[in-house]
Amino acid sequence: MFSKTNEITRLENDLLKWKSLLASVLMKTTGQVDKEKEALYWSTIREIQKQIEELNSRTVSAIRAGAAGFPDGQGVYGRSARETGLLSIGIRNRFMKCPD
């Protein structure tokens, strides 16, 4: 299974691909826009953007939920240096980014 970061990166790459395809909706021979292709591409672009937003909001919610678990409300900042030294660097950085 992919991590959220990998999934977001994959979706962002797909988004770039679909946006680049928008240039192909203009038929060179007639100068007309292929409305069906354009609608399909924009629909796909919006769906990918929605998926990225959902993944980003889940990540932020999970981090905030973790920070809310501290009974004193001060998170890592209120912990002693000895206790915070027991946390991995990744976990400490995650908590440092949480809003109060």
Q: Mind listing the pLDDT tens digit for each residue in 34-55? A: 999 999 999 999 999 999 999 9
Cα angle at 7 between 99 and 43, to 5 degrees?
100
20/47 same-domain check: yes
75/63 same-domain check: no
39/84 same-domain check: no
What pLDDT score was predicted for residue 9?
92
64/77 same-domain check: no
Residues 6+ apart with CB under 8 A from 49: 15
48/9 same-domain check: yes
Q: Which of 16, 38, 14, 41 is nearest to 25 (CA)?
A: 38
What pLDDT score was predicted for residue 69?
56
Residue 53: domain span: 1-68
18/63 same-domain check: yes
Look at the chain and count its residues: 100
What pLDDT score was predicted for residue 31?
87
Number of domains composing the chain:
2
Of all residues in the chain, what percent carry a pLDDT higher than 90? 38
Residue 77: pLDDT over 70: no
